[in-house]
Amino acid sequence: DAMVIQNPRYQVTQFGKPVTLSCSQTLNHNVMYWYQQKSSQAPKLLFHYYDKDFNNEADTPDNFQSRRPNTSFCFLDIRSPGLGDAAMYLCATSRDYSGANVLTFGAGSRLTVL
Amino acid sequence: QQQVKQSPQSLIVQKGGISIINCAYENTAFDYFPWYQQFPGKGPALLIAIRPDVSEKKEGRFTISFNKSAKQFSLHIMDSQPGDSATYFCAAQIQGAQKLVFGQGTRLTINP
């Protein structure tokens, strides 16, 4: 089945210790998104790629970086995690921007910061 | 302008009842309104969506009602079942634009 796969599902890190979360997709979609979702809140868009074009949200902290080495993979790097970065991180894809932008989400990576 | 306001935050409904979740928006440029369903530990999944040229869309037990003049839309779940217990997010988008704006979410619990 075509899908969006995130690894790891659960990540525990120490305050200030860098973390990388990965996302892979078999949908061959052009757009890949990273969302941050804190408990009982709506997903908040951090940034997205259209192919190799990177689009950062204005309020995304510099502590968050992303890489997309090819169509299938996208990574979220948190350079120095703080306690406030504990959240579920959701990767999503969409075919493109035209028409209704249907997002396909992965199951998420839950980050705990000690 | 870019916000979508969703209510209630949480909702408890008896099995077989009707669940109703409401959303309101300000930006009249929004022209695509999806609802996403999220189960615990999973990512959101598209449930149903509507464009503003129709006032209602029905898929099985799920119906979106859309009131363009009031800038409001709502999700109705008929014959609610325990398996419908999840968090529901409304969203809005300008078609062709990059960003989907999510509401705050409603945690729905269906009691057996």
Query: How confident is the model over A60-88, as pLDDT tens digits?
Result: 999 999 999 999 999 999 999 999 999 99
Whether residue B95 is predicted with pLDDT greater than 90 in this model: the reply is no
Establish if B97 touches chain A: CB-CB under 8 angstroms. yes
- Residue A15 has phi, psi (to 5 degrees) of -50, 125
Q: A108 and B32: CB-CB below 8 Å?
A: no
Closest CB to A101: pick one of B36, B100, B107.
Answer: B100
For residue B1, what pLDDT is reported?
61
Return the SS3 of A84: helix
Q: B99 and A45: CB-CB below 8 Å?
A: yes
Asked if B50 contacts B66 with a C-beta cutoff of 8 angstroms, the reply is yes
The β-bridge relationship of strands A109-113 and A53-56 is: unpaired
* Residue B91 neighbours by CB distance under 10 Å: 26
Taking contacts as CB-CB distances below 8 angstroms, the residues of chain A near B42 are 107-108
Closest CB to A102: pick one of B46, B51, B99.
Answer: B46
**Range name among A27-41, B5-19, B76-90 with the lowest pLDDT average:** A27-41
Nearest to B90 by CA among B32, B12, B33, B25: B33
Tell me the mean pLDDT in the region B87-104: 86
* Residue A45 neighbours by CB distance under 10 Å: 22
